Amino acid sequence: MSLPTTSPLSSAVAVAQTEPGWDRELGRQLSRVPLWALLWLLASVLAHHMWQWYCPVGLNAGPLLVVSFGMILAAIIDGWAFKVPNWLTLPLILSGWLAGLCHTLGWSIDSGTGGLGISLLATLFGFGLLLPMLVLRGVGEGDVKMQMGFAAWMGAYFGTGDTTLAAGMDIRLHALGVVFWAFTCGALFGGLFGLAMILLRRRFRDNAQMFQAMAQDLLLVTQGQLHQATIQAEQRRSRWVRLPYGIPLCVGFLFYLWVVLVALRN
């Protein structure tokens, strides 16, 4: 008589582990998001006071330094692992909203003037700008959340333009305009990055066919056939040359943000 090698209890546990359900790792990441968000917000406040001490006249860009550090960190990780992790992007988004909430409540934590509403709107706008590329699998979800984090902070900091006016500048920098033009710069740098990779690899015919297929998928999106476009893009994904899009996004964000601010200060 042979004995069973596994007990009913161990079999049930094994089945439960293989069945779809709550992702424990994701749960642990989400549980840490509020704490990391508060740390990002605290870092922004400290940067504001340090900038105020060092350069008391003009625009206080201390919070923008913190956001820039977050974008650089995301780009480095994306270039290394081809993925922008949730533990970085989600706290950046939430901390931007918290900064906006503080401004809405009248708490003077920094020189930003944008409230929670404009921060949420900017986040949604940033998501919408990258949504077509996400559908076509041209960017990853981490890249989209990276842009949303940037947009959330731009909304809280610049608001509708009162921040730059209060600093004595001659221009009203609206948060949505900052997000749009920073994204545009990122897209241009991404295009140059991709073109350089095409020239180096010399796979001109393959890439031409790929761009033609992407154009057809984009046409499907405009016709409301979102699901079909996503399926076709997913089928081509294995043949694509992987591009860490977080790098050109970061370069575009920082290029626009700091070039504009330096130009305005002068």
How far is residue 170's CA from residue 187's CA, in Å, rounded to a whole number? Answer: 28
How far is residue 258's CA from residue 256's CA, in Å, rounded to a whole number? Answer: 6
Q: Do residues 171 and 263 make contact, with C-beta atoms less than 8 angstroms apart?
A: no
pTM of the model: 0.82
Q: Do residues 218 and 133 make contact, with C-beta atoms less than 8 angstroms apart?
A: no
Q: Do residues 206 and 213 make contact, with C-beta atoms less than 8 angstroms apart?
A: no
CA–chain centroid gap for 85, Å, is 10
3-state secondary structure of 53: helix
Backbone angles phi, psi at 34, to 5 degrees: -60, -40
Q: Do residues 75 and 247 make contact, with C-beta atoms less than 8 angstroms apart?
A: yes
**What are the DSSP E strand ranges found in the chain?**
none
How far is residue 149's CA from residue 110's CA, in Å, rounded to a whole number? Answer: 18
How far is residue 179's CA from residue 147's CA, in Å, rounded to a whole number? Answer: 9
Q: Do residues 186 and 170 make contact, with C-beta atoms less than 8 angstroms apart?
A: no
Residue matched to tokens 């860009």 = 61
How far is residue 220's CA from residue 224's CA, in Å, rounded to a whole number? Answer: 6
3-state secondary structure 16-37: HHHCCCCCHHHHHHHHHHHHHH
Q: Tens-of-pLDDT digits for all 266 residues of the chain?
A: 444 444 444 444 444 444 455 577 777 778 899 999 999 999 999 999 999 999 888 899 999 999 999 999 999 999 999 899 999 999 999 999 999 999 999 999 999 999 999 999 999 999 999 998 888 777 889 999 999 999 999 999 999 999 999 988 888 899 999 999 999 999 999 888 877 877 777 666 666 666 666 666 666 666 666 666 666 666 665 556 667 889 999 999 999 998 888 777 66
How far is residue 230's CA from residue 238's CA, in Å, rounded to a whole number? Answer: 14
